[in-house]
Structure 1
Amino acid sequence: MRTRTAHEQRVYPLSTQQVIHWTEDGRAHTAHWRSESGAPPPRRVEVADDRMAADLAYRLSCEGTALLWRGDFQGARQLLSALARRVDRGPHRARGRRTPAESPAEAFHQHRRTQSRRARVLGMLLVPLDGDFGVPLRRAPDVREACREAYGPASRPSVTSLRELLGLIGAYEWRRKGVEVPALGGDRVHPHYGVFSPVRGEYVDLVAEAPLPSRELAFDIGTGTGVLAAVLARRGIARVVATDQDARALACARENVARLGLSGQVEVVEADLFPPGRAPLVVCNPPWVPARPSSPVEYAVYDPGSRMLHGFLDGLAGHLAPGGEGWLILSDLAEHLGLRPRAKLLAAFDAAGLRVVGRLDTRPVHPRALDPADPLHTARAAEVTSLWRLTAA
């Protein structure tokens, strides 16, 4: 799945414009507020440490009071886990008692509301960062390199949520270790922070298996980590032009292409969907679910109004060389959730002047597809990911 294009411009305020205020030891304090989700700085902030009970912390967080941690870093992690257990129990119902949704679409929206509330409450536990991204707390890990890779150069003291900081640490480990890609012979792709990791490999395998219409030139639209461009190059396509609008994705793709020794075949360019010209093969793996994301990184999964999908389809015929193919890699999860009927997708093909000449299907094997406790299990268990082979009608 892909990072956003210009069709999904970020609607969140830039964190560089935000300041958080609090009172400590009788004095007013301010710091730069960091939030990759675009959440505004909390209006109410209390200083907290290891003496604060989890129940009190949960009540304050639910009421919208943020807790700026001054205790032991590992104690903060334990408190975050305690808050997560309380959130997951739900505010007004006993464990295991969940109101059944009336439809798959309602189950999805109910799930999203639950996720949103969980993120909001857990985001209320805050930690300080020094001007060099050091964490001035006891037993805190060295997160300076992880922060620099996500935020850029350090400049001034700041505050962020512990949940976001732990996400940065996890992303740093993903980037350092990389993700093994069987379609690349086991070579690894290294995702940057904020760029969707190709951990769901079934869509990559489809691109590795589909019959190539040409080995001359291909466009990879919304390249993200660059994994599909790399697969196409490894399959022998002489030149691949990979596009994206997101600065992190562009840097990530270029780094991965260089690591894999493919810089002579793959050119990564900034473009709104299509680069200039036509190609015998144009590939796109847009976000699969037509819903509004709650953070920038979710643009790889959620495509509001299917704007990227329609942007690709509407422009595809004009960028195909005579006899060329467009490969649309798309899950039907939205269909099983009642968010986009199959008939609507087929009508979009017709409206764009496209004809289906073939389709390859595969089923996901990720853990959530096999977990009956997942709120969306019925839809996930039925999900099929397809590579649609399209030509100009």
Structure 2
Amino acid sequence: MGTHVIKMPDIGEGIAEVELSVWHVKVGDMVVEDQVLADVMTDKAMVDIPSPVHGKVIALGGQPGEVMAVGSVLISIEVEGAGNVKASAQPDPVEEVPVAAAKVETVVERKPVAAPAPKAAVCQGPMVAREADERPLASPAVRKHALDLGIQLRLVRGTGPAGRVLHEDLDAYLAQGQSNASAPVAAAYAQRTDEQQIPVIGMRRKIAQRMQDATQRAAHFSYVEEIDVTAVEELRAHLNEKHGATRGKLTLLPFLVRAMVVALRDFPQMNARYDDEAQVITRLGAVHVGVATQSDVGLMVPVVRHAEARSLWDSASEISRLASAARNGKASRDELSGSTITLTSLGALGGIVSTPVLNLPEVAIVGVNKIVERPMVIKGQIVIRKMMNLSSSFDHRVVDGMDAAQFIQAIRGLLEQPATLFVE
């Protein structure tokens, strides 16, 4: 028997160190060739590290969250034969996993496959008692699913990263929790003194760094405007009834993308990137709209490229495809980069007002709040209209307040008179 040592591979792009995000194996596990051993994260992407050999894991070279230098020992595997380490423990030139074999994935921290279950301070089983004011981690889709099922999320044990509640956790709760109907009630009123420390690593660390960087570097200011979306919603319903079966259903988002594209013709300074180190503003003719998407591992921004050249249904199809890819961890690096302006929406949970954080180096982000029916006075008459706020943020270093207000007013005019979206 011998030892085969795998070093941290050279990912390329001049990267000297990477973050070890998650182990998929533990000491004592048997592994086979091409099995994914670990995920490491660069500034741009998550990379799978596969095993080049069959054998048994005998040592791990780091802990999740640790930043490791390229060329440092990642993992040691006991193999049949001599391996690549001499008996004197002085290694020969150790085989690095070829870069071509290191599969580049989207910036997503996936759940370990073979790693031991994380230690949780909460009680084990499908039901967990949380404090009444403790908000469990979960995506909007999971929260809606729980609401539809009548499940209190604070009673569900999350198995995702950082204890995030996943769809399968809801299924487990229903399957197992119903066997003891009194357990949720008892757990909900039990006293708790436990604490849980959650390392900020992987995707969550990248999100934290980007949000902190954006708020520290850009001079944020927000502008909120109320929009009557009754007409555009009527048009959307009509188009879905007429063409939904053959072309697919339209949400409000492709109409918003179209409104942004048309408005940007008069306000090109919004479709720009600002290099604050070089002190250069780059205005772009192509409109690459980033669509902020919540996944089980955090916020991601897939990009609808060349939105200026897309029809409503083309935009709708691309938004749906990218959102699905992001949520499933299948979005490529190219699909998650290169946006020129961002659209963010929390859907039905959008609230009344929000203050979006810029997606640097962009200078504008348009935020969508929920649609509500309210009485409005129109020509002296009280009528019920569908109203929605746009809560948008801008970089005041580049965008003047008057320009930002006029840009949002232009979007408002287009949506309130939706025929103008298609008048050239």
- Decide: shared fold, TM above 0.5: no
TM-score (normalizing by structure 2): 0.25
Higher-Rg structure is: 2
Bigger share in helix: 1
